Amino acid sequence: MKPISKPLLILPNPSRRRFIEGLAASGILLGLSPWIKTAQAKETSQLAEILTGTEFNLTIAETPVNFTGAPRMATTVNGSIPAPTLHWREGDTVTLRVTNRLAEETSIHWHGILLPYQMDGAPGISFKGIAPGETFTYRFKVQQSGTYWYHSHSGMQEQSGLYGAIIIDPVGADPIRADRDYVVQLSDWTDEDPMRVFDKLKNQSDYYNFNQPTAVDFSRDVANEGLGTAISKRKMWNQMRMSPTDLSDISAYTYTYLMNGTTSAGNWTGLFRPGEKVRLRFINSGAMTFFDVRIPGLKLTVVQADGQNVEPVTVDEIRIGPAETYDVLVTPDDDAYTIFAQSMDRTGYARGTLATHAGKMAAVPAPDKPEPLTMGDMMGDMGSGVMAGMNHDGMAMDHSAHAMGGEQVHVRHASTEYGPSVDMRVDTPRTNLDDPGIGLRDNGRRVLTYADLHTIGGSLDPRKPDREIEIHLTGNMERYSWSLDGLEFGKSTPVHFRHGERLRVIFVNDTMMTHPMHLHGMWSELESPDRLFQVRKHVIIVQPAQRVTFLVTADALGRWPWHCHLFNHMHAGMMREVVVA
């Protein structure tokens, strides 16, 4: 491939950019000519339609949008971004007729929903996809309640707009009581062709990373650590051909961050009366973005994670990974509050407002300063483990590390982890769940961690596991190759679960990036480091150099995807097929 040159970064004038976004449609401009000029666009802020009942007709098509002042085509459901919110009831059987008006195959995956594998919506694994001009009928019984979402599992359609919320009422009275109830759906939009973005990352993995170490950073390290240590640190990073600022593959250089399909300038607003209890259903529909969410001046009481009720825990801030959902309760009493969701790399944010009247706004905080990865984030800590970088001859070289918090463990590496697809290995990863992650440690705010989460009612299956499976999250940053146990999806064989068995899965993250791992069709019951039940989820975030364990009951016959929910990591190969038989 011909290398793609990295553009000179010219930071936009914030006031000018906000003015342009204000001219552009902050929601979606239906019927807008793709050749419309920026000056002709006018602001609209449309809420996603709410569809209720048991029969739904959904049409997937291309629709012109304008989020930045430049008209583009998006992939939409019933003409909107986000797609309509689907409101179901636990115990009902729902029928969803999905018609494809695109020129390519499409699909809808009902994320986190328990259903027959033929209704899961993953082309090539659970069904053949929906061809242009065809209608596919999904039909299944709703077996759960809570906050979920849906999105395309075809091509680049999720990145270009095909995502929506699902709200499921429980059979009886909802134990979570609120006076107001709002979906807050976060996402990332790019004016670029998503495939072009992927190609740039394949050619140059740090193409969108402008938070690179500088001479000023080196001088600071010299002052704090001494010249020898500062030089050694730089030498190690250079030998590994990695950067401590590789927090996110894609930044605000190309991304515009949206809240309910609205730019920050559009300012999505949810109304309340002082003293009311407001339920906010946060859904991260971002293709590649971890969002750190807070509402300055308000405490967030977390009451649900991934659709499952949890023992209430009150915090100031939540990191929400791609595909996760968190429901929180707040009780506002002033006129206005800012809902602030900054990207993990701190290059941008989405924001909205809770207010007593439309048009009221609160101050928008400045994004936090980006924090670089430490060697602890990379290897658990300097000590007794192993991390493989690449020397100048392209051969793996080992650096020592030990576990940082929790039990110290030694892991097994598959023979497939030693090759060109793997540039790092961790032998003694950390096992702690009480780390909020890079950029959130010791920031003066109470930040939610997995150690805080406890699903009400405990485990669904009291049995001990019959066996264990250990899987390593692997990759090569320079090649932008992502895999499991060193094998990209196209080179891997299925993982086999025996129907009805109880098994323990061990994930070891051998990479420098945080991965949201999603198993279709079955719950993942996260364990504490001492192997006690912690929380039930459909997405488990695994931090760099971390080992997590969770239990799975293989109660869903069929074929299921298992993948990283960072959109481009999945497309680059971090995916397996699971066969339950």
Are 293 and 282 in contact by the 8 Å Cβ rule? The answer is: yes
Provide the 10 A C-beta neighbour count for residue 61.
16
DSSP string, 126-153: TB--B-TT-EEEEEEE----EEEEEE--
pLDDT at 481 over 70: yes
- Answer whether residue 401 shows pLDDT above 90: no
- Over its C-alpha atoms, the chain yields an Rg (Å, rounded) of 23
Contacts of 411 (CB under 8 A, 6+ apart): 426, 427, 428, 429, 470, 472, 506, 508, 547
Task: Report the candidate in 119, 160, 164, 109 with the shortest Cα–Cα distance to residue 140.
Answer: 119
User: What does the pLDDT read at residue 242?
Assistant: 56
Nearest residue to 88 via CA among 19, 176, 148: 148
pLDDT band at 329 (very low <50, low <70, confident <90, very high): very high
- pLDDT value for 326: 98
DSSP character at residue 465 = P
Q: Residue 226 has which token pair?
A: 């001494």
At 125, list the tokens: 């694994």
Tokens of 244: 């401590």
Contact 244, 372 (CB under 8 A): yes
- Do residues 339 and 260 touch, judged by C-beta distance below 8 A? no
Asked whether residue 548 is assigned to any structural domain, the reply reads: yes
**DSSP state, 49?**
P
The pLDDT value recorded for residue 536 is 98
Three-class secondary structure assignment of 473-534 = EEEECCCCEEEECCECHHHCCCEEECCCCEEEEEEEECCCCCEEEEECCCCEEEECCCCCEE
How many structural domains comprise the chain? 2
Answer yes or no: is pLDDT of 501 > 80.
yes
Q: Which of 246, 159, 250 is nearest to 208 (CA)?
A: 250
HSE, side-chain direction, 13 A CA sphere, residue 5:
3
DSSP three-state, residue 236: helix
pLDDT tens-digit series, residues 84-101: 999 999 999 999 999 999
Number of H helices, E strands in the chain: 6, 33
Please tell me the predicted confidence (pLDDT) of residue 9: 32
pLDDT of residue 23: 31
- For residue 127, give the CATH number of its domain: 2.60.40.420
Q: What size, in residues, is the chain?
A: 581
Residue 222 included in any domain: no
Q: Is 221 a domain residue?
A: no
Strand order in the sheet with 325-330: 255-259, 180-190, 278-284, 325-330, 300-305, 308-315
| Tokens describing residue 549 | 């364990």
405 vs 580 pLDDT, higher one:
580
Q: Is residue 203 part of a domain?
A: no
Nearest alpha carbon to residue 440 among 551, 322, 293: 293
Q: Which domain holds residue 440?
A: 373-581
Mean pLDDT (the chain, rounded): 86
Residue ranges of the alpha helices (H) in 301-393? 375-379
Structural contact between residues 355 and 335, judged by C-beta atoms closer than 8 angstroms:
yes
pLDDT at 541: 98
Q: Please, what's the b/e burial string for 27-54 (b: 16 or more CB within 10 A of its CB; e: otherwise)?
A: bbbeebeeeeeeeebebbbbbbeebeee
Question: Taking residues 371-384, what's their average pLDDT?
Answer: 61
Check if the beta carbon of residue 115 is closer than 8 Å to that of residue 140: yes
pLDDT band at 477 (very low <50, low <70, confident <90, very high): confident
pLDDT for residue 216 is more than 60: no
Cα 86–chain centre separation: 21
Give the residue-averaged pLDDT of 344-348.
Answer: 96
Q: Of the ranges 93-97, 216-220, 280-284, 552-556, which one carries the lowest mean pLDDT score?
A: 216-220
pLDDT of 563 > 70? The answer is: yes
Residues 103-141 pLDDT 10s: 999 999 999 999 999 999 999 999 999 999 999 999 999
Helix ranges restricted to H, 103-214: 194-203
More confident residue, 19 or 473: 473
* Domain limit, last residue, from 154, 175, 196: 175
Confidence of residue 376 (pLDDT cuts 50, 70, 90): low
Place of tokens 């019933």: 78
Q: What is the pLDDT of residue 495?
A: 98
When pLDDT is cut at 50, 70 and 90, the band that residue 428 belongs to is confident
Percentage of the chain lying above the pLDDT 70 cut: 80
Would you say residue 67 lies in a domain? Answer: yes
Distances (CA, A) of 424 to 233, 382, 446, 528: 17, 15, 32, 25
Task: Dump pLDDT digits (tens) for 32-83.
Answer: 322 222 222 223 334 689 999 999 999 999 999 999 999 999 999 999 999 9
pLDDT in tens, 179-196: 999 999 999 999 999 999
Whether 507 maps to a domain, the answer reads yes
Please give the pLDDT value at position 405. Answer: 40
Q: Which of 140, 156, 175 is a domain's end point? A: 175
Q: Rounded to two decimals, what is the model's pTM?
A: 0.87
Average pLDDT over residues 522-547: 97
Residue after which a domain boundary falls, among 153, 175, 197:
175
Q: Is 206 domain-assigned?
A: no
Averaged pLDDT for residues 513-541: 97
**With b meaning 16 or more CB within 10 Å and e meaning fewer, what string describes 184-216?**
bbbbbbbeeebeebbebbbebbbbbbbbeeeee
Q: Is the pLDDT of residue 399 over 50?
A: no
Task: Name the residue with higher pLDDT: 229 or 169.
Answer: 169
d(CA 490, CA 512): 23
In percent, the amount of the chain with pLDDT more than 90 equals 74
Tell me, yes or no, whether 24 lies in a domain.
yes
Per-residue pLDDT tens over the stretch 230-240: 555 555 545 55
pLDDT, residue 506, reads 98
